[in-house]
A and B are shown apart, each in its own frame.
Chain A
Amino acid sequence: MRVASASRTRVAAVLLASAFAFAGCSTGPAGPKTIEVRMHYSKYLPSSLEVAAGTTVDFVIVNQDPIAHEFVIGTEAEQLAHENGKAGDPHTGPGEASIPAQGTVRLSYTFARAGSLLYACHVPGHYNYGMKGSLNVI
């Protein structure tokens, strides 16, 4: 009888843990996701991305060009602030990385909420050349 009771308790614990785990899957933060972004001829490949809000993304940024580039995540207003020199230089804050010529940099960033963002390069002349991509957080 005691054995049966212990067994029932174990089953209940497993069910409870499963329920928590299921609940965690549906509403909690998603696990890290890896996205590779390449830079070639001063363009990003891909030029647009979509991620779920709450996701932490490990960006692997591969610069195939023989010149240095940047990868800066932000709203359009923030990108313009970078362009106008109002956001501090060098760009080494969260969601910002400088990638040397033909180098690779890993950058981890958590997208807390939904919205429209850009990733862009602010080496002089590169943003106006079109070195930007759209990042839709859903």
Chain B
Amino acid sequence: MRRRLLTLFALTLALMTLAGPALACGGLLSPNGSVNLLRTTTLAAYHDGIEHYITSFRFVGGGGAKFGSIVPLPGVPTDVVKAGDWTLQRLIREVRPPAPEARVFAATADSVAGAKELLNVSIDALDITVLEGGAAEVAKWATDKGFLLSPDAPEVLDFYASRSPIFLAARFDSKRAADQGLAEGDGTPIHVIMPTPNPWVPLRILGLGKQATEPIQADVFLLTDRRPAMLPAAIGDTRVGELIPRTSGMRLSRSEWASEQLLADLRSDKGMEWLPAKNMWLTFLEIDTPAGVLGYDLAIDASGADQPSYVAAGLTDALARVREIVSGEAVSWVAMMALGAVAGAIAGYVIRRRVATTG
């Protein structure tokens, strides 16, 4: 028993120190400094109509005492809580198992009117606020709180607010972090619980405040009751037709039933008991693209209908193009049917005349 506990402890240490996800979405900047956001890792798990969105905020740099991040949401969360300690790390381990020597090393290493505020929660050094409002209201809220929005913020906030007026702002209080003994760079995982008809992962927000050529790298894990349909289509997604918009910046690296071992491990983390013990589909997407190209979100249809929403993906231009093509085809069919009817009428007339003449 003791040996088992020691093994579990060592495993937990290894998970906590390996590939610590440096996460966050688009930055709210303090007037005194900028925030460098490293690789982002997100889990969007969906079961019984509830999306469990788990991400972690880790800020590197920042200069000023206040900085933060903003995440658009598809719906109003019923709760925002601190996520378990190692769910994201366990998922990373599932898709990127450490090399044996890394494991040994890790095991021994230490580890306008402003927007309406719907929910306020403090988690470690993060002050989380769920906001409801349009781009102007959210921008005013951020400005009133002393943040400086990047010049691309008006367009990006409009991009989201036109579809869902719900945002989650996470503000990092470096003084509180120091009081709590948190070092700069420590990650704080959060778990957003929200009812929604389908899961959704905001991606474009990752480029907020970045230069167009700056690379955006992110790991996105999905856990769904069945194999999901996604939009835009990732490299390696073979289930989509020619008309579906594809992106070269997102690779489908894993698409399979999640092992019961993985689910059991995840279920044993804090706040993860809702996860079914079996029959969950694991999807792993790797995003690696310049910020200027990341103009979309990840729309997911987990219902089995294979109809991910163009609007949810932010691909309304592509939707218009598809409609044009489809309506063009419809017009072609109508024209062909009309031509057929005219040809039939002419043929009928000719035949009747011949019959009359010979008669």
- Give the B-binding residues of A (Cβ under 8 A): 40-42, 65-68, 101-102, 121, 123-126, 128-129, 131
Please name all residues of chain B whose beta carbon is closer than 8 Å to the beta carbon of A40 when the two chains form the complex. Answer: 154
Q: How far is the CB of B13 from chain A (nearest CB, A)?
A: 40
Smallest beta-carbon distance B114→chain A, Å: 11
Q: Closest residue of chain A to B158, judged by CB?
A: A41
A67 touching B154 by the CB < 8 A rule? Answer: yes
Residues of A within 8 A of B138 (CB): 66
Q: Which of B135, B152, B211 meets A66, CB within 8 Å?
A: B135
A72 CA to B182 CA, complexed, in Å: 43
Q: Are B136 and A129 in contact (CB under 8 A)?
A: no
Distance of A25 from chain B, by nearest CB (Å): 43
State which residues 97-143 of B face A: CB under 8 Å: 112, 135-140, 143
Interface size classification for chain B: 20 to 34
The docked-state distance in angstroms from the alpha carbon of A101 to that of B138 is 12
Asked whether any CB of chain A lies closer than 8 Å to the CB of B148, the reply is: yes
Is there an interface contact between A66 and B136, defined as CB atoms closer than 8 Å?
Answer: yes
Question: Which residues of B have CB within 8 Å of A101?
Answer: 112, 136, 139-140, 143
B156 nearest in chain A by CB position? A41
Q: Is the CB of A129 within 8 A of B157?
A: no
| Complex A-B: 19 CB contacts under 8 Å | A40-B154, A41-B158, A42-B154, A42-B155, A66-B112, A66-B136, A66-B137, A66-B140, A66-B153, A66-B157, A101-B139, A102-B136, A121-B151, A123-B151, A125-B209, A128-B211, A129-B151, A129-B152, A131-B151
Q: How far is the CA of A128 from the CA of B139 in the complex (A)?
A: 21
Apart from A66-B138, A66-B157, A101-B140, 13 more pairs, CB < 8 Å: A40-B154, A41-B158, A42-B155, A66-B136, A66-B137, A66-B153, A66-B154, A67-B139, A68-B143, A121-B151, A129-B150, A129-B151, A131-B151
A49, B163: Cα distance in complex, Å: 35
Neighbouring A residues of B150 by C-beta, 8 Å: 125, 129
Query: Nearest 4 A-B pairs (CB), nearest first?
Result: A66-B139, A42-B151, A66-B136, A129-B151
The interface of chain B, by Cβ under 8 A from chain A, is: 112, 135-140, 143, 148-155, 157-158, 209, 211
A66 smallest CB distance to B (angstroms): 3
Tell me the bound Cα distance from A121 to B148 in angstroms.
Answer: 15
Instruction: Say yes or no: A41 contacts B148, CB within 8 Å.
Output: no
Contacts of B155 in A (CB 8 A): 41-42
Minimum CB distance partner of A121 in chain B: B151
- Within 8 Å CB of A126, what residues of B? 151
User: Which residues on A sit within 8 Å (CB–CB) of B139?
Assistant: 65-67, 101
Alpha-carbon distance between A34 and B25 when the two chains are bound, in angstroms? 42
Among A66, A125, A128: residue with most chain B CB under 10 A: A66
Q: How far is the CB of B205 from chain A (nearest CB, A)?
A: 16
- Tell me if B112 and A41 are in contact (CB < 8 A): no
Question: How far is it, in angstroms, between the C-alpha of A125 and the C-alpha of B112 when the chains are bound?
Answer: 23
Closest to A100 in B: B143
In the assembled complex, the CB of A65 is this many whole angstroms from the nearest CB of chain B, namely 4
Contact A67 B143 (CB under 8 A): yes
Q: How far is A101 from B141 in the complex, measured between Cα atoms in Å?
A: 12
Contact status B154-A102, CB under 8 Å = no
- CA–CA, A40 to B135, complex, Å? 13
Which A residue's beta carbon lies closest to that of B161?
A66
